[in-house]
Amino acid sequence: MPTIFENAKHSEQFNAADSDITISSSDGVLFKVHKRNLAAHSEVFPEGDLATNDEVVLLTEESSTLELLFQYMYRQPQPDITELPFERLSKLAEAAEKYRVFSAMEICRVMMKASLPSHAIAVLAYGAKHGYSKVYSEAAPHTLAVDPAEAFRYLGHAWFVHWVLYREPYLKALAYARKPPSPGGHLLHKGGYAECDLWKPFQQKVADAFETDVPAMNRINDIFSTASGRTGLSACTQCTRRADAWSAQIIKKVSTLPQFTLTLPDPMADTSSEHTDTDN
């Protein structure tokens, strides 16, 4: 074994006396494991191509990640990762994908999705990178308020443009959401007045909720209910109907907003037939 490994730390769990391959983590911990196990559980470790036992295979993963990953390659109870801190879970998930350890890939995918709505931009990046549509579709709405610089750090050049194109219509929809419908003849108050004293405070609370908070588009009913309760709007039938019409038009708008997709639109596509109404 090379001199630099003479005083290296060995994994307590993976230090088999009959091992035929030694792997070193990025932080210098040695794992003495078996080629047949690696080859049987990973597409990236073909048994015949692995180093001999007097050589050390250097991997880029930390020892804490490999300690978990190798447990999926032996006939033993798999590790409980349900309480694993997200950073460690994320590293394990990436390692499982990199080395194509299918027994670990599935549970990592489930747990990454279960981490939502926390760590949404990291989960989105993971889902997009590995093509997990259910993961990135569920993560995307929780990333609407993420700062673009942070989004770029996670998504990189590969997926950042997709995220920007997904998010932009939501930003425009915020401005639309702040505009209530006109009262109309059927909503006029007694005496022909368009609104009563309850409307302005209610309108302001709703407009404030949609000022800059893009994720507010995902909780429309809660916003209207809270604003109505705090201003006593329910005491006025006409204003309540107008509020219902307002929330309905926002919900309709949101239903037309795009889903996150891994496919970019064709910049050469004919858009001459698209509707130019600002409400669409």
Distance CA 87, CA 103 (A): 20
pLDDT at 199 over 70: yes
Long-range contacts of 142-145 (CB under 8 A, 24+ apart): 142/116, 142/117, 142/215, 143/167, 144/170, 144/214, 144/215, 144/217, 144/218, 145/213, 145/214, 145/215
Distance CA 265, CA 27 (A): 43
Sequence-ordered list of residues with C-beta below 8 angstroms from that of 241, at least 6 positions apart, any chain = 187
Region of poorest pLDDT, from 115-119, 245-249, 270-274: 270-274
pLDDT for 59-98, tens place per residue? 999 999 999 999 999 998 999 999 999 999 999 999 999 9
| Angle ∠(189,191,193) on CA atoms, nearest 5 | 50
Instruction: Name the band, by pLDDT with cuts 50, 70 and 90, for residue 190.
Output: confident
What's the average model confidence in pLDDT over 268-279?
A: 43
Instruction: Name the band, by pLDDT with cuts 50, 70 and 90, for residue 195.
Output: confident
What's the average model confidence in pLDDT over 247-275?
A: 77
Instruction: Name the band, by pLDDT with cuts 50, 70 and 90, for residue 272.
Output: very low
CA dist list (Å): 277 to 176, 207, 273? 12, 22, 12
pLDDT at 175 over 50: yes
What are 269's two structure tokens?
């596509």
Instruction: Report pLDDT for 264.
Output: 82
pLDDT for 160-173, tens place per residue? 999 999 999 998 99
- pTM equals 0.80
pLDDT at 108 over 70: yes
Instruction: Report pLDDT for 79.
Output: 93
pLDDT at 1 over 70: no
Residues in the chain: 280
CA dist list (Å): 243 to 46, 198, 199, 209, 227? 64, 11, 9, 14, 10
Roughly what angle, to the nearest 10 degrees, separates helices 199-209 and 220-231? 150
| 8 phi, psi to nearest 5 deg | -70, 155
- DSSP per-residue string spanning 106-165: HHHHHHHHHTTTTTHHHHHHHHHHHT-HHHHHHHGGGGTTS-HHHHHHHHHHHHHHHHHH
Identify any residues that bridge with 15 across adjacent strands, giving them in sequence order.
32
Instruction: Report pLDDT for 193.
Output: 80
> Mean pLDDT, the chain, as a whole number?
88
pLDDT for 9-68, tens place per residue? 999 999 988 998 999 999 999 999 999 999 999 988 765 555 565 678 999 999 999 999
- Among 199, 203, 208, 186, which residue's Cα sits nearest to residue 235? 199
